[in-house]
Amino acid sequence: MNANVNRQILLVEKPAGKLGPEHFKLTNGAIPEPKDGEALLRVRYISLDAANRAWMHGATYRSAIEANTVMAGGGIAEVVSSKAPGLAAGDLVFGDTGWQDYAAVPAKHLTRMPKIEPMTHLLSIYGVAGLTAYFGLLKIGKPRNGETVVVSAAAGSVGSIVGQIAKIKGCHVVGIAGGKDKCRWLTSELGFDAAVDYKDGAIFKALRAAAPKGIDVYFDNVGGDILEACLPLMNNYGRIACCGAISQYDGAPSAHGPRGVPGLIVVKRLVMQGFIVMDFMAQRDKALADLQAWTSSGKLKVQEDVIDGLENTPKALIGLLAGDNRGKRMIRV
């Protein structure tokens, strides 16, 4: 990294179909001057998130991202200089830094982070991924000892933690993931009771065999056909925690959704609830304490997928959407 240049990755065009390298451009910009209330940040790690692609479709829980701007994205950064009370040079923060070396960001949009080793854990287990898994499963899914929990995108950052927390809570846990290797990893390394390879076809049959007592909690990261396959297997009074719909992100917005939803929800008295992790931030300390205790006792394994180099960020996101990652993917800038 050249200390006088701010390398930036721009989203040059919003994709109409699948995201490709042609939608991004690496450019050299100026290091920004922080205004009053802002801090100048040097970005250390950039989080790669399926949601990065969803933001390109339009406004969601955040404003839409526009073409010819620095690609948005969360990151861990060090404060270089500050014009904001409460932040000083050397502090560590999390915020929407964008895909670049340096960013000037209003302090009110930054979360101060502790200095821990490895720093990468601030994006994985103690970051959005860990907290999403924790709150989505425990507050929305509400699993009880002995129940069956199914999670999709199970070998990804959120899913791999969901399944392990469900095991800690005494549940029978089934992961859905793409490919035999990921499925084997879920059962042999992470302690899932069973794993279903959705790319193998016949997902409904495989799920029924893996969850012989039916599904009490489905943690849905993908929507679409996998949600459709889970619905008929839900037990009465089951809960579906709608965390994301990754099967719908990378392409033109699709009108296709799971069939048979309303009828099954009525007959099975299901609760289907979406959530955004930020809604639970008031309970963050308790969640972090639990995650830390489980991690340090070895009950919860943290899987990270760290790729070097800002220039590799577009490729890393495209790869994540295609399932190349295992656990939390991030860029070491």
* Residues at the contact surface with ligand NDP, assessed by CB under 6 A: 49-51, 128-129, 132, 153, 155-159, 177-179, 182, 198, 221-222, 226, 243-244, 246-247, 275-277, 320-321, 323, 325, 329
Alpha helix segments (H runs only) across the chain: 50-54, 128-135, 157-168, 180-188, 203-210, 224-230, 261-268, 284-296, 313-321
Q: Which of 306, 300, 304, 324 is nearest to 137 (CA)?
A: 300
Quote the least distance from Cβ 5 to ligand NDP, whole Å. Answer: 29
Compare residues 176 and 310 and give the one whose CB is closer to ligand NDP: 176
**Distance separating alpha carbons of residues 330 and 259, to the nearest angstrom:** 35
**Amino acid identity at 34:** P
Length of the chain equals 333
Compare residues 61 and 237 and give the one whose CB is closer to ligand NDP: 61
CB atoms under 10 Å from CB of 323, counted, come to 16
Quote the least distance from Cβ 63 to ligand NDP, whole Å. Answer: 16
Quote the least distance from Cβ 317 to ligand NDP, whole Å. Answer: 10
Compare residues 91 and 305 and give the one whose CB is closer to ligand NDP: 305
Q: Where are the beta strands (DSSP E) in the chain?
A: 6-11, 24-29, 38-47, 69-70, 74-82, 92-96, 102-106, 111-112, 148-152, 172-177, 194-197, 215-220, 234-242, 271-274, 304-308, 328-332
Instruction: Collect all residues with Cβ–Cβ distance below 8 Å to 139 and sequence separation of at least 6.
Output: 275, 280
Q: What SS3 state is found at 219? A: strand
Quote the least distance from Cβ 141 to ligand NDP, whole Å. Answer: 13
Quote the least distance from Cβ 247 to ligand NDP, whole Å. Answer: 3
Quote the least distance from Cβ 93 to ligand NDP, whole Å. Answer: 19
Compare residues 184 and 269 and give the one whose CB is closer to ligand NDP: 184
Cβ 165 vs Cβ 191: under 8 Å: no
Compare residues 100 and 221 and give the one whose CB is closer to ligand NDP: 221
Compare residues 25 and 57 and give the one whose CB is closer to ligand NDP: 57
Quote the least distance from Cβ 210 to ligand NDP, whole Å. Answer: 15
Compare residues 132 and 313 and give the one whose CB is closer to ligand NDP: 132
Compare residues 34 and 223 and give the one whose CB is closer to ligand NDP: 223
**Amino acid identity at 84:** A
Cβ 45 vs Cβ 332: under 8 Å: yes
DSSP state of 283: G
Cβ 50 vs Cβ 320: under 8 Å: yes
Cβ 264 vs Cβ 218: under 8 Å: no
Quote the least distance from Cβ 233 to ligand NDP, whole Å. Answer: 17
